[in-house]
Structure 1
Amino acid sequence: MAISAQSRARGALVGLAIGDALGMPTQYMPRALVSARYGILERFEPAPDDNPISRGMPAGRVTDDTDQAVILGKLLVEGKGYVDPRRFADELLAWETRMIAAGSADLLGPSTRKALTLIAEGMPTDETGRTGATNGAAMRVAPVGIVFPARPVEALVDAVFQSGHVTHNTTIGLAGASAVAAAVSAAVDGATIDEALQAAVEGARQGAKRGFYFAGGDIAARIGWAIELVRGKSEAEALDLIYDIVGTGVATQEAVPAAMAIISLAPDDPWRICRLSASLGGDCDTVAAIAGAVAGACHGVEAFPAPVTAALESANPDLDLIGLADRLLALRGRASILPPVAKGTSSA
């Protein structure tokens, strides 16, 4: 049975949130500890007391990965494809303020925090992200892939840049975000897992042409290398290789290739992709969010077990991922990265 674009768009956001929530209790824990305590995660788990970032969070609760994707998605809808960089910065700061008030230690990442500090100091938003090379743009970019078509890829990368440059305006940060957006967008158009992974490589190549130069491994090359590294390996061996060699840290050149390699391990099962990703250790909530978004877009929201999506909704009743996905999809093919013309003004 054909999978509708609506199901694929919904699957992207729901898959992102499922991966994120699965990885919430295991984030920034070493792989040996995750493996000993959980093995391969079977369900949403509450955060353990010895996780200083997420302790106190109940099972199924999402983290900043999903929250920032929702913020970006709402701004895309509001601007009909355009994201005002100052407004985005203000929304991210307001989110962090709410997290601090709630006693959360899961706050803004290093690239985003630095960019917002520079904005407060008066730096123009086209320069504030010039050192942003961590995975923050990649983790939240799935809504861009829902709104903007995969072809031409240059136009999609323009949208990735416009929506993310305020915090991640580097060759590496934009390459990683473009890889994820291209994979999600191709999937919304009907791509298979293999085709989506190919789109990720192409998106990374184009994304690396944008932004301020930042030294580091080439994202496109590392995606292809990571997939080949685990080809034909058992799951256990593959997870060890990804953790030990590819890396699962906050660096974009680790997290994005790691996510794509995990996707290649279980191409027919997006739920298992999320479970494997969240069981890695390191920045595994982000790796799982990226992998879940791409796999969910390829297979559609119905591919996730109904009890899992129900538990996610119960733990996060205010997210409305389905409604947001539908609103984003309604813009596909007619969105613009230019600011909307205000009523009563003329373009003449």
Structure 2
Amino acid sequence: MTDAAGAIDRAMGALIGGALGDALGMPTQLLSPARIAELYGHVEDFVAPVDDHPVSKGLVAGTITDDTEQALLLGRIMVESGDRFDHTRWVNALLDWEREVKARGSYDLLGPSTKRAIDAINDGVPPEEAGSGGDTNGAAMRIAPVGIMMPPEPLDALVAKVAETCRATHNTSIAIASAAAVAAAVSSGVSGADWRAASARAVTAARLGATHGNWVTGGDIAARIAWAQDLVRGKTEKEAIRLIVDLVGTGVASQESVPAAFAVLEVADGDPWRAAVISANLGGDTDTIGAIAAGMAGASAGLSRLPQHRIAKLHGIDLAEVRALADDLVAARKAKIRSGKEAAA
């Protein structure tokens, strides 16, 4: 596999790995681990949500949710924006997306931080101010395209791009640190790093990301990622799930779900499907944790190492469109690498 083909394979691994984690966690999101066990035993494959599920009712097994849809949407806006991220186009795209999912009868709409920001923008607040309180995991869940487009070096440029895309909805130190960690892990994976090296780079990126945006109170993301991975290292899957649920947390708060995703990556030993399975059984924000963990794992593993028979069961995603987006993002990445080398020459 050539370098270009390898980068596209790993970019596709990030996007499709994220979709697998998202879809597997779709029916179990918001449920407790006990309720998941009662309904499904141990989730090992795509299952349908219960009829009275608060956000997933009516979806068929294997359906992606807002995590994947917004990641692909962000990727398209980045490609169309060029070097300067178009905040207006991004906000309008989110509004159009929300109208579309409402028309489809979906209950899984914009997350709390994004919704507050868009309401503020509609009330006349400038986009750069609207996201000043956004501290939940919406930025981290959809950030993979930034990691694909931006090379891991220079790291400050990658983190600056993350912060730029967060500004309208998640312009806080916690959200940017979380998204920077995930983007750096994906970027490192696309460059060929294994999941361990990618995790280490993520911690460094989180420290740098925390210097951007409005400071808000909460646990340090870099420290919590390192702690969460150390907490579960060497543990059985069952024991690790208990530790993640009881100590790390699986809610929408960035300081819970993002460290939880890195802990899942550790327990899964970098295997994307195992990361998706572990996430689906955690309870809480299972689809987002799964999308992040399996997406990071997929960036290092590549599409060719993902379970193809599982991918064939995904609903709500056009693989040809994802491939076209991956091609465009990798082309932009290579252009940035070339321009960086020319500037250094």
TM-score (norm 1): 0.93
Structure 1: distance between partners of 2:276 and 2:112: 25
Maintained 8 Å contact 1:59/1:315: no
Maintained 8 Å contact 2:272/2:295: no
Three-state SS of the structure 2 residue aligned to 1:127 is: helix
Q: CA RMSD in A?
A: 1.6
Structure 2: distance between partners of 1:51 and 1:7: 35
Shift of 1:325: 1.2
1:264-343 to structure 2, matched below 5 A, reads 264-312=266-314, 315-317=316-318, 320-335=321-336
Structure 2: distance between partners of 1:73 and 1:265: 29
Structure 1: distance between partners of 2:141 and 2:46: 20
Maintained 8 Å contact 1:81/1:331: no
Segments of structure 1 that go 5 or more residues without pairing to the other structure are 337-348
After superposition, the C-alpha distances for 1:256-306 in whole angstroms (9 at most, x for unaligned) are 100000000122421111111121110010000000110000100111111
Structure 2: distance between partners of 1:82 and 1:250: 29
Maintained 8 Å contact 1:81/1:335: no
After superposition, the C-alpha distances for 1:100-136 in whole angstroms (9 at most, x for unaligned) are 1222110100100000011111111111100000000
Structure 2: distance between partners of 1:109 and 1:273: 23
Three-state SS of the structure 1 residue aligned to 2:261 is: helix
Provide the identity percentage.
Answer: 50
Structure 2: distance between partners of 1:81 and 1:33: 46
Residue aligning to 1:198: 200
Shift of 1:87: 1.2
Maintained 8 Å contact 2:251/2:285: yes
Residue aligning to 1:70: 72
Maintained 8 Å contact 1:172/1:219: yes
Aligned residue pairs total 335
After superposition, the C-alpha distances for 1:130-182 in whole angstroms (9 at most, x for unaligned) are 00000000000000000001111110011001112100000000000000000
Structure 2: distance between partners of 1:201 and 1:116: 30
Segments of structure 2 that go 5 or more residues without pairing to the other structure are 338-345
Equivalent residue for 1:124, pick from 123, 126, 139: 126
Three-state SS of the structure 1 residue aligned to 2:146 is: helix
Shift of 1:320: 2.3
Q: Higher helix fraction: Structure 1 or Structure 2?
A: 2
Three-state SS of the structure 1 residue aligned to 2:50 is: coil
Maintained 8 Å contact 1:20/1:66: yes
- Runs (4 or more) in structure 1 with deviation over 4 Å come to none
Residue aligning to 2:341: none
Shift of 1:335: 4.9
